[in-house]
Amino acid sequence: MSFAGTGPEDDVFGVVRNGVGTITLNRPDRRNAMSDAMISGLADLLAAMEASDEIGAIVLTGAGNAFCAGGDVQGFDEKGGEGGGAQTIDPVAVAQQQQAQRDTVGRIYRCHKPVLAALPGAAAGAGVGLALAADLRIGGPRALIATAFAAVGLSGDFGVAWLLERAVGPAKARELMFLNPRIKAEQCLELGLLNWVVGEDELEARTAEIAEQLANGPQLALASMKQNLIEAPMVDLEASMDAEVPRHKTAGLSDDHVAAVRAFVEKRQPVFGAGRG
């Protein structure tokens, strides 16, 4: 089922199947470089999918042979640079981009549903932020990550520095930002930037398999796990443990917990979601 208001003719579109909402960045001729329409459409789709009772997990991917090339460098050149040739920054443009980043990378990172990024090819620049904001990442053999900002004289946006530092540590993050190496799929796997690398002909099926497992899982428990993991690096152990308890106890009141305990006793696989709307 196509998500309302989007289709394959748009810069980004969404579909829902088997409880999974899939968002496809759709400018394959520009390696899915971001346009204003893509950014606003992505923000709208993320908000709608997070709110939908039909969707238990979200997949973010790119059309064609790339995930997302980040900013549209060809477009920058056509208008005289990212700033459009101006000599001073426009505070309105700053505020608009700050909000756009919160509505895309920020929403992916904090979404209470699991988000899986599927990389058929390169994630570069701001596209790295979109990929790293996801909870899990799977790539094909052509997947690669490149920060790309230094190559075009920019410092970086869409949360790339913050997310990279947490993914690979401060020294490696500086290497990737300053020197802009192209990190290929197997090295991404070694660094923890990808969770899985699969064959090109397996990517779609394996992505669907993982996403459907997440979508059919205990949604309240998964959302609480994600919040625990988000908060963990920002607080000490005691504060983290204190925050875990009410979430754990709340999950213990859920229909999913009761069903899973019964399934465990009966030595069968649990079926989650019976109490969801």
- Dist CA 7 CA 170 (whole Å): 40
Higher pLDDT, 251 or 71: 251
- Dist CA 103 CA 190 (whole Å): 30
In the chain, the DSSP E strands lie at: 12-17, 20-25, 57-62, 66-68, 115-119, 122-124, 136-139, 144-146, 183-184, 196-197
In a 3-state reduction of DSSP, which class is residue 67?
A: strand
pLDDT, residue 73, reads: 77
- Dist CA 207 CA 181 (whole Å): 27
Domain boundaries, the chain: 12-215, 219-265
Higher pLDDT, 232 or 75: 232
- Dist CA 270 CA 69 (whole Å): 40
Q: What is the tally of helices (H) and strands (E) in the chain?
A: 12, 10
Q: Domain 12-215: what homologous superfamily?
A: 2-enoyl-CoA Hydratase; Chain A, domain 1 (3.90.226.10)
For 19, 20, 122, 200, the CA distances from 64, given in Å and listed in that order, are: 24, 20, 11, 12
Output the CA angle 240-162-222, nearest 5 degrees. Answer: 45
Output the CA angle 115-117-121, nearest 5 degrees. Answer: 175
- Dist CA 116 CA 19 (whole Å): 14
For 13, 178, 200, the CA distances from 65, given in Å and listed in that order, are: 17, 26, 10
Radius of gyration for the chain, computed over Cα atoms and rounded to the nearest angstrom: 20
Q: Each residue of 213-230: pLDDT tens digit?
A: 999 999 999 999 999 999
| Nearest partner of 272 among 221, 209, 210, judged by Cα | 221
Q: Each residue of 13-47: pLDDT tens digit?
A: 999 999 999 999 999 999 999 999 999 999 999 99
Q: Each residue of 40-93: pLDDT tens digit?
A: 999 999 999 999 999 999 999 999 999 999 987 777 766 676 777 677 888 999
